[in-house]
Structure 1
Amino acid sequence: MTILIRPHHFLCMLTFMGKGYSAAFVKNYAKIVERLNSGEDIKIVDGPDDICKPMLHEPDHHCHNGSVKARDIAAADKISEVLQVDLASVRQLSLPRSQVNTLRRAYEDGVFRIACNGCQWQEMCASIAVRDYRGCHLDPGQEPNSG
């Protein structure tokens, strides 16, 4: 299977520690990160993705807001730059652990700041990065299993 991810969630995964909008959201997110840790591929999508699913039934969910779409555009641009791949044309990719570390270093260096501006989680994520991502669910320690 393939995990559907919008560009800014690609960044959110780097600091996911089991916190989120609701218990259902966190449970879903944890399962997605577990799938990533097992080596499942990612398909980049415009708009709501697999992470958004638990919130889509809520009348005031923000998944379609212009600010979120702007965050996706900024994130896609910076991720493409850091990973040297055009997310707009590739659309499906794997996330080897080396790329997790590359993205995390870029996050620490402030490369993604423009994509995180205005996010309610920005401060929390920055504090997680300062603590070397200890306790994060996305595992940078090993390459995915092959076979």
Structure 2
Amino acid sequence: MTDAERHNDAVASGAWPGGPMLAFDVETTGLDPESARIVAAAVVAVGGDTAPETTAWLLDPGIEIPLAPDPRPRHRGEPVTFDIRIICDDRDADAITRALAEAFRTGTARTYPTRDGMRTRLYFTADLKRPEDDQPNAC
């Protein structure tokens, strides 16, 4: 049985797309896995019958964090903008959008069909949420 056939069988049985999913991301001091150290990590749980749940950590790597290769300010109160691209089943698009909105400040999702027409491509522009983003506005 090919990978595509196994995937189609799993989708048809409802084994994966409707169940819970977990996304994990790390930021490191460099690209070399032998010497880079983790400085930030995040886990987002989405799916099933529960609301999205995000856990994030900032870590002290114990060494100087190298400057980013581009001149944009990092962690100085200015947002760091990045793109998120996901291919998913149509039924999962809303849950994924909610989970990303919980974890990041995102713009409206741009959606496109995949070439085979079987899934959806989601494109977001996002930046890191700051603690004040979750505070209600006081009048």
TM-score normalised by L of structure 2: 0.26
Q: Tell which structure's C-alpha radius of gyration is larger.
A: 2
TM-score normalised by L of structure 1: 0.25
**Structure number with higher helix proportion:** 1
**Structure number with higher strand proportion:** 2
